[in-house]
Structure 1
Amino acid sequence: MRIGFGVTALANGMDGNGVDGIGNVTRELMLRLARQSDLNIVPYVYAEQPPASMPNASGVGRFGPQALFALAAGRPFPEMQRRLCERVDLVHATDHFVPRLRDVPVLATLMDAIPLAHPEWVSYRFKRLKNELWRRSVRWADHLVTISDFSRQEIVRWFGVAEERVSVVPLGVDGRWFERPTAEARDRVRRAYCLPDRFFVFIGTLQPRKNLELLIAAHGALPIGTRHELPLIVIGRNGWGCNALVARLRAGEHAQVRWLEYVADEDLPALLGLASVMVFPSLYEGFGLPVLEAFAAGVPVIASTASAVPEVAGDAALLVDSFAVTDWRDAMLALAGASSLSNTLRERGRLRARTFSWEQTASGMRAIYERML
């Protein structure tokens, strides 16, 4: 099978502020699919020429002009049709940029329906026009795949597609999160980032739906001794919509809260493994991969009851209402000590993480390719 595989989001991340979200998922899936000898993965990117980060990708022209042409004329993407379609049997649009093509089936991955369900949480220009273009372009796909049952329900609701047109293939956890870093690696990371002996950790791009304001308020409501013993370490780049919070973090206005704007990807497993508790209060997630990564690293997790997070976490995390500051404070206090609850969550978390792997994700995706062809 020759699979045209979209890598635009991955390439943009590699050439910009770093790979996260869709880019990470694209990379992990492509690595696993490429190992299968009877699959020929043909990466493509919406650009005139492939970027330096993806020299082996095929440039298929810009997405925007082709999408507007397809909407207006009811015809396929001209550049993509000419440059790619004779060389592939199926196109997998991994990153929400769904093409209209002729004689080649299209599979589209949709992680979530955030721009339609919560337009207040996206910040791009011409929001209404782009959201409508996205809604219509999704209908060009022959089949859709998403990452959780929650996201499937959201896609059916907000895109108006039939439920049978949407398959669910959960994400996986890379093996590096299960590996126990050496004492030397842990010491190096602790020194490099000036980490205390014990701390709460939050991982995620700073944006409104990540609910970091609530988390900081809950941490600030802890007894002063607990705050000093377990400061809150925030890891994630500045996204959007949090300018006031970012200014306060940079000014050090929140006592015992420290923002690490950048952590090298190779340091993340060791840093996460050093944490006492991982806190994840997000208001909306299509999946919630950081929860599984913390499970694999052997870190107890407190997570929100919102969206797909309970589906992913199962009974291996403390689940707390996303809007209840007092409940978050109490949950953080419950795990602040070396309690039997912490040990129970560690054991459950490791078991839970073992049920998700990128190899299973790749197998599920391959089965969809086979059905479509």
Structure 2
Amino acid sequence: MIEPGLTGGRLDGIGVYTRALLRHLPRTGCTVLPYSWPRPRMGKSASGEGISIGQPMPQSFEKASLVDLATPGAHRVHMPADLFHVTDYRIVRMDCPVVATLHDALPIKYPEWCNPRLRSVKNWLQRKATAKADHVIALSYFAIDELVECFDVNPQRVSVVYCGVDDEWLEPADLEAVAATLAEYKLNPGYFLTVGTLQPRKNVGRLLDAWLMLPKALRDERALVVVGARGWRCEELVARLQAAQGQGENVVWLDKVTDAQALRHLYAGAGVFAFPSLYEGFGIPVVEAFASRVPVVASNASSLPEVTQGAALDVDPLDTALLAEALHTLATNNAERARCIAAGRARAEQLTWHATARQTAEVYRTVLSQ
């Protein structure tokens, strides 16, 4: 395994995925030994410095990549494992089969939506690294075409395994605990909720525009709650959120929600969940909302229709008026709310982390049998 993206205790999507596999793979009969890439240290060998999960790899990814580039086809990292699963893009040649989960082709397909720091170098390394995987796991069928286009992945060595939620999300949250969490954040139940790191592709700016188009009485009754840490290229959005708050609008931005139970309670307290993302390899928050029995407005772009399968109101994420109409519908139309809640719940029951782990273990066994 590769260490998940940990930033100040906050898990990103890759981190959530990795943590789920670490928890659920042992139930499938797999013995899991977690490893993490250590930070590079100039002039020194790799150490466990900065490692929060598992054991450190023999060397940093940067060093392993440079050595591999210098001796292509010859250098292989020794690992005491039958198979190594890379849960992000940092792939090197190893002396055992390598399975790599490629979450999306976003950095190459849409670099303008990504962190610009060393982007061209990172993209080049990712293209090189991807060729070193013996088998690839994609999180949606949508992703396959882009992985083939951007990484030149052979579609014959790609398996699709969906993400999911933990079983506990399918159980009703404790009402007293939910009330306590909402009181802590000074929230009244029934708000419009969105969850995700603040970055351009999450499209939160248009969501704010759509919410501001709703009748004032509805906005006063149902806040817009944005849960997400600062990402990249989010300065304008942060300024807009803060300006709306300063103008007395019922907007709440929670940028430091790191506790998993608190996040679950925030979903449970929502009246409508909105996920107007422009691009997703999968979209875990949609399934979390489904499991929490919250009706969902989702983008009809990228992988999201594949995830929702009609259980959400799917709208064009570039059409602010349609987005506002969908928000209004799920806030006021009880019949449509009930339909989306029931359909979302049924969809969430199909998408559990246990199912993800079981299908991932099947991929391992197929690779090892070849």
Q: Shared fold (TM-score greater than 0.5)?
A: yes
Structure 1 distance, partners of 2:126, 2:278, is 23
Structure 1 distance, partners of 2:54, 2:109, is 36
Q: Hey, what does 1:40 align to over in structure 2?
A: 31
Q: Hey, what does 1:29 align to over in structure 2?
A: 21
Contact 2:230 2:255 in 1 (8 A): yes
1:186 Cα deviation from its structure 2 partner: 2.0
> 78, 86, 97: which is aligned to 1:105?
97
1:123 Cα deviation from its structure 2 partner: 1.3
**Can you give the 5+ residue segments of structure 1 that lack an aligned partner in the other structure?**
none
Q: Hey, what does 1:330 align to over in structure 2?
A: 325
Q: Hey, what does 1:91 align to over in structure 2?
A: 84
- TM-score between the two structures when normalised by the length of structure 1: 0.91
Q: Hey, what does 1:257 align to over in structure 2?
A: 251
Q: How does 1:143-292 map to 2 (within 5 A)?
A: 143-251=135-243, 252-253=245-246, 255-263=249-257, 264-292=259-287
Structure 1 runs of 4+ off > 6 angstroms? none
Q: What code does the residue aligned with 1:136 have? A: K
Q: Pairwise CA RMSD of aligned residues? A: 1.7
1:358 Cα deviation from its structure 2 partner: 1.3
Structure 2 distance, partners of 1:368, 1:51, is 32
Structure 2 distance, partners of 1:46, 1:336, is 45
Q: Hey, what does 1:6 align to over in structure 2?
A: 2
Q: What code does the residue aligned with 1:119 have? A: P
Contact 1:77 1:99 in 2 (8 A): no
Q: Hey, what does 2:303 align to over in structure 1?
A: 308
1:315 Cα deviation from its structure 2 partner: 1.1
Q: What code does the residue aligned with 1:100 have? A: R
Q: What code does the residue aligned with 1:349 have? A: G
Structure 2 residue 335 is the aligned partner of structure 1 residue 340? yes
Q: Deviations over 1:212-247 (max 9, x none)?
A: 010000111111111111120100111110112212
Q: What secondary structure is seen at the aligned counterpart in 2 of 1:279?
A: strand
**Taking structure 1 as reference, are residues 77 and 24 closer, same or farther at Cα in structure 2, changes over 3 Å only?**
farther
Q: Percent identity?
A: 39
Contact 1:6 1:45 in 2 (8 A): yes
Q: Hey, what does 1:19 align to over in structure 2?
A: 11
Contact 1:199 1:275 in 2 (8 A): yes
> 46, 58, 61: which is aligned to 2:59?
61
Structure 2 distance, partners of 1:77, 1:258, is 51
**Taking structure 1 as reference, are residues 55 and 135 closer, same or farther at Cα in structure 2, changes over 3 Å only?**
closer
Q: Deviations over 1:148-178 (max 9, x none)?
A: 0011121011112221121111112112222
Q: What code does the residue aligned with 2:61 have? A: F
State the aligned residue count. 358
> For structure 1, which segment, 117-126 or 149-158, has the greater mean C-alpha deviation from structure 2 after superposition?
117-126
Q: Deviations over 1:108-136 (max 9, x none)?
A: 11000000100111114221121011111
Contact 2:89 2:129 in 1 (8 A): no
Structure 2 distance, partners of 1:124, 1:117, is 14
Structure 2 residue 70 is the aligned partner of structure 1 residue 72? yes
Q: Hey, what does 2:43 align to over in structure 1?
A: none
Q: What secondary structure is seen at the aligned counterpart in 2 of 1:172?
A: coil
1:320 Cα deviation from its structure 2 partner: 0.4
Q: Deviations over 1:259-293 (max 9, x none)?
A: 01122321111211111000000000000111111
> For structure 1, which segment, 44-53 or 28-37, has the greater mean C-alpha deviation from structure 2 after superposition?
44-53
**Can you give the 5+ residue segments of structure 2 that lack an aligned partner in the other structure?**
39-45
> For structure 1, which segment, 246-255 or 272-281, has the greater mean C-alpha deviation from structure 2 after superposition?
246-255
Q: Hey, what does 1:357 align to over in structure 2?
A: 352
Contact 1:172 1:357 in 2 (8 A): yes
